[in-house]
Amino acid sequence: MTSVARAFARRMLCLRVPRDARPGQAIAGQARLDFCDVVSVGASGSRFDTLYYVVGDGIACYNGTICDNRRRLLYDKRRNHATDASFKEVAWLKPWQLPERRSVGAFTDAWQASYFHWMLETVPQILVATQNDNVKPDALYVDMSCQFQKELLDLMGFGADRLIPANQFTIVRAHRLIVPPRWDAFENCPPWVVPLLRRAFLRSERPASRRLYVSRGDAKGRRVTNEDDLTRVLAAEGFETVLLHGRSVREQIELFSEAAIVVAPHGAALTNIAFCLPQSALIELFPPRYQPQCFEHLAKQVGMQYARVPASLSPLAMVDWSYQYADFSVDIGLVLEALGAVNRAQAGQHDA
């Protein structure tokens, strides 16, 4: 077993793989390495490689777990580790056996209903697999319970004859199961993901001039409570207020590709900055106790300017355990200060 394969097995299966591990050897009493082949796949147009697992006669579950035909757990994508207990909820179910000897790509995951995770994790996994003959699956086992998932699959050119909806088939068994690598875009998005998405979905890169305030006024949480005051001030700076609810994925991609500056509270809608042009800018607004860096990292990968405006910590926020989705008031002065810095930087780019 090569050092690369051993390292991947350690990361993928989260098992204690000894340095002298041999194919067929039982590992941690749960899995055997001969169940899977490690395949190195090059991301199209990139010098970066990624690794896929090929499981013979494998079983995939709606929640992301993967096991062999004897129901021994190989991989639990929900928790990114393998435990017998995590498989109990589906272990008693009879898998739907594909009638033909077909290869199936297992693209289910615990976060599959999240636009952020699906766009930055599942979609690139599908694109890379289907563009490489050595792991190209005949069919995709994917969740299709959300409208954006159906739209993205359609944009990628997948018809109903190649899709197995995980929201209808809880567990499937395939002659050849293709299992993608796992990464958490919330913490670390591979550098080839953004270029891959842009090649797949951006029709053209036109000069960007629109200034957008992306509202969460129709969301269930993390709304800006003084948004009327904020939008009035931003309108004077040339901003238009937009809501993304009801817009198709294609419309959202086109909207963000035309934006020179985006101001928005933290939320999954900002996944679409992957389609902004380099040298555009994002000013991200945060509630007081929840300020993740995922979109800051994504903005830097795109080549955008980035600024964050956190809300001040109120006594209510200190005891509110739903802090991730808490509504908040933004300091408009700080927003204008960040906008001034962005304006000066963009003016300098134009002069150069």
- Output the pLDDT for position 28: 35
Beta strands in 62-190 (DSSP E): 65-67, 73-76, 96-97, 103-106, 139-142, 163-165, 171-179
Please identify which residue in the block is written with the tokens 């995951």: 109
Angstrom distance (rounded) from CA 317 to CA 328? 9
Statement: residue 288 has pLDDT above 80: yes
Sort 82 into a burial class: Cβ within 10 Å, 0-12 / 13-18 / 19+.
buried
The residue type of 89 is E
Domain locations in the chain as residue ranges: 3-200, 202-351
- Protein fold of 202-351: Rossmann fold (3.40.50)
Q: Are 346 and 281 in contact (CB under 8 A)?
A: yes
Q: How confident is the model at residue 187 (pLDDT cuts 50, 70, 90)?
A: confident
Q: Are 71 and 59 in contact (CB under 8 A)?
A: yes
pTM: 0.82
Angle at 257 between CA 256 and CA 262, to 5 degrees: 40
DSSP letter string, 246-294: T--HHHHHHHHHTEEEEEEESSGGGGGGGGSPTT-EEEEEE-TT----H
Statement: residue 14 has pLDDT above 90: no
- Output the pLDDT for position 322: 64
**DSSP tag of 206:** P
- Output the pLDDT for position 344: 92
Segment 95-123, tens digit of pLDDT: 666 666 689 999 998 788 999 999 999 99
- Output the pLDDT for position 199: 93
315/38: higher pLDDT: 38
329/95: higher pLDDT: 329
Statement: residue 92 has pLDDT above 90: no
Q: Helix or strand or coil: residue 349?
A: helix
Q: How confident is the model at residue 197 (pLDDT cuts 50, 70, 90)?
A: very high
Pinpoint the alpha helices (H) of the chain.
3-13, 88-91, 115-117, 123-130, 147-155, 193-201, 227-236, 249-257, 294-302, 315-319, 332-351
Which residue from 248, 122, 250, 266 is spatially nearest to 181, judged by alpha carbons? 122
Segment 269-284, tens digit of pLDDT: 999 999 999 999 999 9
By mean pLDDT, which of 39-53, 233-247, 288-302 is the weakest? 39-53
For the chain, the 3-state helix, strand and coil shares in percent, each to the nearest 5, are 35, 25, 40
- Output the pLDDT for position 40: 61
Angstrom distance (rounded) from CA 8 to CA 183? 12
